[in-house]
Amino acid sequence: MNSMMAMATDNRAVPLTDGPATSSPLLGVEDLGIAFGATKVVEGLRFSVDPGRTLAIVGESGSGKSITSLAVMGLLGSSASVSGRALFRRRDGEVVDLLRLSPGRSRALRGDEIAMVFQEPMTALNPVLRIGDQLVEVLRNHGRPTRGAARARALEMLRTVGIPDPESRLHAYPHELSGGMRQRVMIAMALMLEPGLLIADEPTTALDVTIQAQILLLLRRLQKSLGMALVFITHDLGIVGQIADDVAVMYSGRVVEAGPARAVLATPNHPYTRGLLGSAPQVDASGTPLPLKPIPGIVPSPVFPPAGCRFHPRCGEAKAGLCDRTEPVLEPTGSARGVSCLRWKEIAS
Amino acid sequence: MTRPLLEVRRLRKTFAPRRRGGSPVRAVTDVSFDLREGEVLGLVGESGSGKSTIGQCLVHLHRPDGGEILLDGENLATLPRGAFRRRRTAVQMIFQDPSSALNPRMSVGDALREALRLHSPHAGRDVIEERLERLLRLIGLQPEHASRYPHQLSGGQKQRIGIARAIAVEPRCLIADEAVSALDVSIQAQIITLLGDLQQSLGLTMLFISHDLGVVRYVADRVAVLYLGRLVEIGPARDIFAAPAHPYTQALLAAIPDPARPLDESAILDDPAGPDPRAAGGGCAFAPRCPHVMDLCRKDQPFLTQVAADHTCACVLRKIHPDRQGETV
């Protein structure tokens, strides 16, 4: 464990730290476990985010990435049992464990200091309320500014997220806007109170690629200007390269690889990360598409997880007698990176 | 040159306004293209470009307002419903959401048997069962999957069944409407690879509709780009990707997420309003968003002109600088 501490001391937003890092990240998730009855969907999860940085959490459907964000937001129902810690440093410096907050304090923090943007803005917005009223509602739920001040702030935020003709959009209903525009409204709503942390769960997955590029650009600009931390959840490594500083790759409820995004994308250590990269459309320098190398099979059900390494049934590098017996742990590999694979050294050489 | 399998000529489809006093939506305006035997034509554009409407016109889910859809010289657009039903197996569709395209109360085997029987009504039970098994293996599943129901399958497996159902009747051509858009990248890669393999082994002719040029690049021999219901560029895939002629095609290319390439800010259409059918007036529909817009663009509707062999583009820039053909604007 000493080596992990050593890794954490280079003061990067290392998703792989042991205990509260010396630099005190904005959000430090430690040993997070989420279970529904006897079914463990997330286990031993650990990552951290520093202010002003972007952590991408990547994985396929069923890897546990969305449920992790819901746990951090305090939005999981009582049917889920959550263990571990999610330490969040508040504006006033107080460090709170998001998993142990009372519902009231959790609600007060949500929207104010931590906000979330969801994949499908049409279901996240209230279809029968005008955009302006929904934006103003955020402010009125946290403190009670005057009507005029709240409205002015709503207008300012719509302008910030690049909505043309914001005055008239205040009176629009969600269905009157395009998908991209609705997602901009969601982002405006999330940033009304300038939260220190924004969690974006697949915010561009339902959008056209052109609009996706616009939203990514917008999020990046806003993050810089507001200095907020961003947790970006996606299944697409292509997007990770475009937005993230750090990346945590999740598989079947665990982090299998983590580190600075550029380094992980350039030289992935885990066979699953390699598989995801092989699945992403890419071109070489001359513009010729690189052949797709899909990962066979699908994410295992958390009800019947495979023994040993959870990826071994789909892994081309799996060794019988080893990978199907021993469960790997996330171990540091140097340069603020970590991997959870029994054979990563052999594979690398 | 041999006659194309499917000829689409000046196809038009306008939808009535949703509200009284609203303006009708011109989803497809005078779109013409060929689908050649054995090729995959990528049909690309954003939401609202009319790409799905074209696909739906081809299988009679919409009745076009004008134009022709010629299959072996027969105009499907004006074919009466009954006559089209008899030709239905000629053009088959793979849908975006396999969950809603499959009957939840029908086992995979029954869904495929139904299609197989439609193709050979007089085949015996043994023949059908044998074909079913072959079909399942062809799409990368096992015979035991025949007894499963859609809810017991993953998204990728359901899409495989959607593909199997479409090819079971041995259609002349396939229309894949955003067939991989709803899938995770890992599953998307599996399905793209499957479609490529099937195309090779069965010599399928396919119209591949997608908003993502990054995916189209892997399957298409030629690419047609639509913008607000009009064809703005069509040509061999290699040319389109190496030297896109239309500024819109260039923007679509720049938007492809690539793990090895950072977001190219300068190349992104940073216009939150998106495509607006009303903004254009009489000129080029792309003019309000175009980085190279000139006065001329707002007045005249550009028409498709040849920029290279088998490659046409509807942009004024292409007309003014014939000597700059093939260059990137």
CATH number of the CATH domain containing A247:
3.40.50.300
Instruction: Please indicate, yes or no, if residue A120 is contained in any of the structural domains.
Output: no
Question: Which of B25, B40, B52, B186 best probes binding to A when mutated, by most A CB atoms within 10 angstroms?
Answer: B186
| Same domain flag for A84 and A29 | yes
- Inter-chain CB proximity B214 and A265 less than 8 Å: no
Q: Are strands A229-234 and A54-58 parallel, antiparallel or unpaired?
A: parallel
Average pLDDT over residues A79-105: 93
Residues B209, B47: contact at Cβ < 8 Å?
Answer: no
The residue type found at B105 is R
CA nearest to A310, candidates A329, A332, A331, A327:
A327
Task: Find the closest chain A residue to B190 by CA distance.
Answer: A294
Q: What is the pLDDT of residue B319?
A: 65
- Mean pLDDT value across chain A: 88
ipTM, 2 dp? 0.80
CB contact set of B189 (below 8 Å; sequence gap of 6+): A278, A279, A280, A292, A293, A294, A295
pLDDT at residue A20, rounded to an integer: 42
pLDDT at B73 (0 to 100) = 82
Q: Cβ of B188 under 8 Å from any chain A Cβ?
A: yes
Q: Judging by DSSP bridges, how do beta strands A246-251 and A54-58 pair with one another?
A: parallel
Q: Is A296 left (phi over 0), alpha (psi -120 to 50) or beta?
A: beta
Which residue, of A170, A192, A214, is where some domain finishes?
A: A192
Residue A218 counted as domain residue: yes
Domain contains A237? yes
**Is the same domain home to A204 and A317?**
yes
Strands across the sheet with A246-251, in order?
A114-117, A197-201, A229-234, A54-58, A246-251, A254-260, A337-339, A331-334
Judge whether A75 lies within some domain. Answer: yes
H or E, element range at A95: strand A95-97
Confidence of residue B1 (pLDDT cuts 50, 70, 90): low
| Residue A92 sits in the same domain as residue A239 | yes
| Chain A contact present for B254, CB below 8 A | yes
Q: B112: Cβ–Cβ under 8 A, 6 or more apart, which residues? A: B132, B135, B136, B146, B161, B164, B165, B168
> How far off is chain A from B100, nearest CA to CA, in Å?
17
- Show residues of chain B in contact with A180, CB under 8 Å: 272, 274
A331-334 vs A337-339, strand pairing mode: antiparallel
Same domain, A16 and A95: yes
* Chain A residues within an 8 Å CB radius of B260: 241, 265-266, 282
pLDDT of amino acid B42: 97
Same domain, A87 and A162: no
Q: Are residues A235 and A291 in the same domain?
A: yes
Whose tokens are 């569709």? That residue is: B93
Assigned token pair, B125: 């039970």
Q: Looking at the structure, do residues A49 and A180 belong to the same domain, yes or no?
A: no
- State the total domains in chain A: 2
> Are residues A258 and A280 located together in one domain of the fold?
yes
Q: Label residue B19 by pLDDT band (50, 70, 90).
A: confident
* Pair (A28, A71) in one structural domain: yes
Q: Measure B157 CA to nearest chain A CA, in Å.
A: 9
Q: What is the mean pLDDT of residues B155-167?
A: 94
**Within a domain: A334:** yes
Which domains, and CATH codes, for chain B?
Answer: 6-16+24-242 (3.40.50.300), 244-329 (no CATH)
Q: Do B257 and A209 touch (CB under 8 A)?
A: yes
Q: What is the mean pLDDT of residues A260-286?
A: 91
How far is it, in rounded angstroms, from Cα A176 to Cα B86?
41
Nearest chain B alpha carbon to A165: B273
**Average pLDDT of span B192-221:** 93
A161 and A14, same structural domain?
no
pLDDT digit string, tens, across residues A222-246 = 999 999 999 999 998 889 988 999 9
Taking the C-alpha atoms of residue A56 and residue A248, their distance in angstroms, rounded to an integer, is 6
CB A341 within 8 A of CB A322: no
Q: pLDDT by residue (tens digit) across B62-107?
A: 999 999 999 988 898 888 888 888 888 899 999 988 888 899 999 9
Secondary structure class of A71 (helix, strand, coil): helix
Range of the domain at A335: 2-113+193-348
Residues of A in contact with B286 (CB under 8 A): none
Task: Assess whether A186 and A213 both reside in one domain.
Answer: no
Domain end marker among A192, A218, A249: A192
pLDDT at B175: 96
Check CB contact under 8 Å for B190 and A294.
yes
Q: Is residue A119 in a domain?
A: no
Q: Are residues A200 and A262 in the same domain?
A: yes
* pLDDT score recorded for residue B275: 78
pLDDT of residue B240: 94
Task: Examine the fold and report which residue of A192, A227, A246 is the final residue of a domain before the chain moves on.
Answer: A192
